[in-house]
């Protein structure tokens, strides 16, 4: 019979794929992780992992153990949730979210959550990549695409709009911009194509057939800063750029709409601490629909590189 504690190390190595990463997440050493894996393999009489250049991968025996280890982990989580919620209804909750929405929208509006629930502690993982709930990187995740996993509870969080922006300094020295046909003569700011974490971010060609991209970044915030500096035109979420005094919205008839999706593991969906954060984010997005969809944004026309604001909607 193996030690139940060994399963923690088994699950973390399976999720991270590397001893050093698993050790860091478990706050221990890689030698300790390896020792626990060896112990469980010895008890079961079979190898659970094979090591490849890209990391550790499960053997067929490891795959068979994984479903049981995850089921045991879920039971432990539910037991902890039931007991802690009966004594202290709130606690720590981690939410993974795309960088733009997390930093430029949620972080500045989350104070109302703590006014309602002062015992809550939130960890906001706002990064330019996919944050996995199934790998326990977060308990709530907000995605650009709808997840398909059966183990998740998912709903559409909100639609949002992206539009074209540039600085006045850029427009003053750039070719005239009066229509979509003029976009091919301008400098563009965009993502690093081979590092895109979602196909939903491949949108430059929706505006311009052959954009002349002069600056690439995995970070939408870096793209906004580059646009502010006068480097070129960027496609930015309206909730990020519409109130930026350094940016001018361009060609208001040219915009695209995308969606955010919010998910959690099915067994956690009834958790009190999770539900208060989930409901708050859903309510917040409903209240801020105008901002998210770019309604009421300044309209700017360009005649001979001179921009003027007339207050019309996007």
- Considering only the top CATH level, what class is 6-87? mainly alpha
Nearest-angstrom CA–CA distance, 257 and 158: 10
268 pLDDT exceeds 90?
no
Fold designation for 160-258+292-309: D-Maltodextrin-Binding Protein; domain 2 (3.40.190)
pLDDT, residue 292, reads 96
Q: Which residues contact 225 (CB under 8 A, 6 or more apart)?
A: none
Look at the alpha carbons of 260, 266, 268, 269 in this order and tell me if their dihedral is positive or negative: positive
Nearest-angstrom CA–CA distance, 112 and 17: 38
Lowest mean pLDDT among 58-72, 151-165, 281-295: 58-72
What is the band of 205 on the pLDDT scale with cuts at 50, 70, 90? confident
Rounded to two decimals, the pTM is: 0.68
Q: So where are the chain's domains?
A: 6-87, 92-159+260-290, 160-258+292-309
Nearest-angstrom CA–CA distance, 166 and 305: 12
What is the band of 122 on the pLDDT scale with cuts at 50, 70, 90? very high
> pLDDT per residue over 241-262, tens digit each?
999 999 999 998 899 999 999 9
Cα 175 to the chain's mean position, in Å?
Answer: 35
DSSP string, the chain: ---TTHHHHHHHHHHH-SHHHHHHHHTS-HHHHHHHHHHHHHHHTS--EEEETTEEEE-HHHHHHHHHHHHHHHHHHHHHHHHHHHH-S--EEEEEEEHHHIIIIIGGGTHHHHHH-TT-EEEEEEESSPPPTTTTS-SEEEESS----TTEEEEEEEEEEEEEEE-HHHHHHSPP-SSGGGGGGSEEEE--GGG-S-GGG--HHHH-SS-EEEEE-S-HHHHHHHHHTTS-EEEEEHHHHTT-TT-EEEEEEEEEEEEEEEEEEGGGTT-HHHHHHHHHHHHHHHHTHHHHTTTTPPPEEEETTEEEE-----
Please indicate whether the domains covering 92-159+260-290 and 160-258+292-309 agree at the CATH topology level.
yes
85 pLDDT exceeds 70?
no
Right CATH for 92-159+260-290 from 3.90.1110.10, 3.40.640.10, 3.50.50.60, 3.40.190.10: 3.40.190.10
Q: What average pLDDT is seen over the chain?
A: 86
Summarize the confidence of residues 144-161 as an average pLDDT: 88
Nearest-angstrom CA–CA distance, 216 and 188: 9
């Amino acid at each position: 019979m193996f030690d139940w504690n060994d399963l923690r190390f088994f699950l973390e190595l399976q999720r991270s794929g590397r001893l050093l990463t698993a050790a860091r997440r478990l706050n221990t050493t890689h030698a300790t992780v390896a020792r626990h894996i060896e112990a469980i393999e010895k008890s079961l009489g079979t190898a659970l992992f094979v090591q490849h250049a890209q990391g550790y991968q499960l053997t067929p025996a490891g795959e068979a153990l994984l479903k049981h280890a995850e089921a045991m982990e879920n039971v432990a989580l539910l037991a902890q949730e039931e007991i802690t919620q009966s004594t202290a209804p709130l606690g720590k909750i981690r939410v993974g979210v795309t960088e733009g929405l997390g930093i430029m929208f949620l972080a500045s509006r989350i104070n109302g959550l703590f006014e309602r629930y002062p015992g809550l502690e939130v960890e906001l993982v706002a990064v330019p990549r996919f944050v996995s709930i199934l790998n326990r990187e977060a308990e709530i995740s907000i995605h650009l695409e709808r997840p398909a996993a059966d183990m998740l509870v998912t709903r559409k969080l909100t639609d949002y709009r992206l539009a074209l922006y540039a600085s006045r300094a850029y427009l003053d020295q750039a070719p005239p911009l009066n229509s979509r046909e003029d976009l091919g003569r301008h400098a563009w700011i965009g993502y690093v194509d081979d590092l895109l974490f979602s196909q939903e971010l491949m949108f430059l060609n929706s505006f311009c057939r052959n954009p002349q991209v002069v600056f690439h970044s995995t970070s939408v915030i870096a793209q906004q800063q580059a646009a502010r500096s006068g480097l070129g035109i960027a496609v930015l979420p309206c909730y990020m750029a519409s109130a930026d005094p350094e940016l001018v919205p361009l060609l208001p008839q040219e915009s695209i709409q995308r969606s955010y999706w919010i998910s959690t593991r099915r067994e956690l969906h009834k958790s009190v601490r999770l539900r208060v954060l989930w409901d708050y984010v859903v309510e917040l997005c409903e209240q801020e629909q105008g901002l998210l969809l770019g309604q009421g944004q300044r309209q700017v026309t360009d005649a001979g590189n001179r921009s003027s604001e007339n207050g019309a909607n996007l």
